[in-house]
Chain A
């Protein structure tokens, strides 16, 4: 007899979005406060793992039809690309800079090129974690 997971599933529907929002917050906070690409990626992966625990692998595959190996490759390409981008300005590999820009609604924001490298880290962490868990979790 299959047990009834109604409580776990209903709680997951609410908690999942809170975890994802918090992981994005942590990701963007990494420059001046604790956080960054690695922990943000792990938190996003943990939210998806919670979805896998409450439902099953097939449903997660239907919701997120990505091949997570491709996500890992894309993250590595982004990281390498930010390193190669420094050659365009005639500075050493992986140099970084930042500047302050004023936007019409948001006001003054600090934009750093390290954020682009962090996006690469984020994608690699999400891709690797979910590839490992999906590979272990699938029945042969």
Chain B
């Protein structure tokens, strides 16, 4: 992914060099032309066309913002109620992420969405221990995190 990005930037610089126009618009047009060239030769590289990875990162940001807003309203609703009827709990969740940055990003996303909080990571980076504010159904909470965040992170690093 980063190798293709470097090639694309080199093409953009060469484009500015050939036009002798060292401007932002020259850089952008060269970048778009390099993107087209890389798309034509995408089967030449061992990894996938890198712009799919960029789109996956944007999708991860959108999913995070959506979850943040939804779960914030949920927590607000809990605070407004006169009586607390929450069932807090800590559950262990096995994750299928390999690299350290993936584990870190997933933990940060879980912590930043209100209602859930990463308490600890197992020494082999395979299990997250998560504290949830309201936990009527453990399996449902696991499924939610797996279907949203973990899938989106796997889409970035695939």
The answer to whether A6 and B120 touch across the interface, beta carbons within 8 angstroms, is: no
| A11:B104 contact, CB within 8 angstroms | yes
* B residues near A4, Cβ cutoff 8 Å: 120-123, 125
Q: Which residues on the A side are within 8 Å of B123 (C-beta)?
A: 1-2, 4
The digit string for A1-21, where 1 denotes a CB below 8 A from any CB of B, is 111101101110000000000
Q: Enumerate chain A residues within 8 angstroms of B118, measured Cβ to Cβ.
A: 7
What is the distance, in angstroms, from B153's C-beta to the closest C-beta of chain A?
13
Which residues does chain A contribute within 8 Å of B75, judged by CB atoms? none
Contact B122–A7 (Cβ < 8 Å): no
CA distance A2 to B124 in the complex (A): 12
Give the shortest distance, in Å, between B121 (CB) and chain A (any CB).
Answer: 4
| B107 part of interface (Cβ distance < 8 Å) | yes
Q: Does B130 contact A (CB under 8 A)?
A: no
Which residues from chain B contact A6 at a C-beta distance below 8 Å?
100, 103-104, 121, 125
B16 vs chain A, min Cβ distance (A): 16
Task: Give the shortest distance, in Å, between B119 (CB) and chain A (any CB).
Answer: 11
Of the A-B pairs whose beta carbons lie under 8 Å apart in the complex, a sample of 6, sorted by A's number, is A4-B120, A6-B103, A7-B108, A10-B103, A10-B104, A11-B104
Q: B101 near A: Cβ within 8 Å?
A: yes
What number of A-B contacts does a CB cutoff of 8 Å give?
25
6 nearest A-B residue pairs (beta carbon):
A10-B104, A4-B121, A10-B100, A4-B123, A7-B104, A7-B107
Give Cα A6–Cα B122 distance, bound, in whole angstroms. Answer: 10
Give every chain A residue within 8 A of B107 (Cβ-Cβ): 7
Q: Smallest Cβ distance from A8 to chain B, in angstroms?
A: 9
Assembled-state Cα–Cα distance A126/B103 (Å): 34
Q: Which chain B residues border A11 with CB–CB below 8 Å?
A: 104
Residues facing A in B117-147 (CB within 8 A) are: 118, 120-123, 125
How far is it, in angstroms, between the C-alpha of A6 and the C-alpha of B102 when the chains are bound?
11
A87 to chain B, nearest CB (A): 45
Q: Closest residue to A8 on the B side, CB-wise?
A: B104
Give A11 to B107 CA distance when docked, in angstroms.
Answer: 11
The interface residues of chain A lying within 8 Å CB-to-CB of B122 are 4
Chain B proximity of A15: nearest CB distance (Å): 12
0/1 string, B40-71, CB within 8 A of A gives 1: 00000000000000000000000000000000
A1–B100 Cα gap in the complex (Å)? 20
The proximity string for B residues 89-112 relative to A, scoring 1 for CB distances below 8 Å and 0 otherwise, is 000000000001101100110000
With A7-B103, A10-B101 known, 13 other A-B pairs at CB within 8 A are A2-B123, A4-B121, A4-B125, A6-B100, A6-B103, A6-B121, A7-B104, A7-B107, A7-B108, A9-B100, A10-B100, A10-B103, A11-B104
State A9–B101 Cα separation when bound (angstroms): 10
How many whole Å from B96's CB to the nearest CB in chain A? 16
